[in-house]
Amino acid sequence: MKDLRKWMVGLDLTDHDEKLIRYTYELSGSFDPEEIVFVHVKKRNPIPERFRSHPDHSREELLKIIEDKVHKVFDETKKVKCEVHGGTPYFDLWRETFLHQTDLFIIGEKNDVKSRKLVPEKFVRKSFCSVLFVPEKTRKIKKIWIPVDFSENSRDAVDVGLQIKEHFPEVDIVCQYVFETPSIDLIEAEVRKDYVDYFRDESREKFGKFAGSIADVSSIELHLTPWLYADVADHIKEGAEGNEADIIIMSSGGKSRISSLFLGSSTSELIKLEKKIPLLILKQKINKIHAWDILTNL
């Protein structure tokens, strides 16, 4: 996808950094970004030096640590940069994505329930760029899972999946559509299956129109799921994990460029769930100065 030209990767100086750097390297083969910036935000330490259990590295020392990690995987080129900033990690990372005009921000996902429910969702909600969460365990991408609602934004997610497939033809793409079965509780049990099949067939027709302009539509599998759970996010997570998908790609909420700044309920809920699979949330490229005005005046 041409819009994903400038990347930023958030590092926290844990063992997860090496996996994050390697995953970024493998993914960059499909997109060939013009810039990848690896950033660490040095949290301000209010503890007096005499009471610290660990040494407080200078920015220069931290920068050297990061550069050593990155250049074990990436060649030293002008498009690969490393930076260290001081401040509050998530806020300052968000600020840096804005200042760098970042198109894709990549961050590690930890199995920390509190931070998973609060921080990542807030970050994505406020960010002006697409965000990729990478869990501690990943696999080579062989199956891409794309939840769709047949909007233009979900078509963008399909395009990103197809771009990955261009570089890795063996990759399978599955589009999942969670369809409604209105008032199914009022339908007699003996015809309930026919009732569900009616909406399943209707969903196939919608997908046919949605995928009509895709050159190689036969390369995409359609996975239809009746909406049974309270949150569509649960269906997406269950479908992706149950079918052994290696990455989930989905668009943010809204059908217009401005509304895509805000998260749909399914996207928001999926971010809060534990991620065993990398999750890429796509946001439309918009005029970021105009978007800044909108958000600061809410």
Give the CATH number, domain containing residue 10. 3.40.50.620
Q: Domain range holding 259?
A: 139-298
Banded pLDDT at 84 (limits 50, 70, 90): very high
Banded pLDDT at 268 (limits 50, 70, 90): low
- Is the pLDDT score of 285 beyond 70? no
Does 50 share its domain with 147? Answer: no
| C-beta neighbour count of 296 within 10 angstroms | 7
- Is the pLDDT score of 260 beyond 50? no
236-247 residue pLDDT tens? 999 999 999 999
Does 35 share its domain with 118? Answer: yes
What is the per-residue pLDDT for 146?
95
Does 39 share its domain with 179? Answer: no
Strand blocks (E) in 181-295: 220-226, 247-251, 279-282
Does 169 share its domain with 284? Answer: yes
| C-beta neighbour count of 19 within 10 angstroms | 16
Banded pLDDT at 269 (limits 50, 70, 90): low
Does 158 share its domain with 124? Answer: no
Instruction: Name the average pLDDT for the chain.
Output: 83
Using CB atoms within 10 A of its CB, is residue 265 exposed (0-12), middle (13-18) or buried (19+)? Answer: exposed
DSSP string, 191-206: GHHHHHHHHHHHHHHH
19-55 residue pLDDT tens? 999 999 999 988 889 999 999 998 876 667 777 666 7
What is the per-residue pLDDT for 45?
67
What is the per-residue pLDDT for 148?
92
Q: Which of 137, 168, 191 is the last residue of a domain?
A: 137
Does 117 share its domain with 166? Answer: no
What is the per-residue pLDDT for 178?
93
This prediction's pTM:
0.85
What is the per-residue pLDDT for 272?
66
Average pLDDT estimate for 237-264: 72
159-189 residue pLDDT tens? 999 999 988 899 999 999 999 998 888 889 9
Does 156 share its domain with 126? Answer: no
- Is the pLDDT score of 69 beyond 50? yes
- Select from 237, 264, 240 the least CA-distant residue to 252: 264
Q: How many domains does the chain have?
A: 2
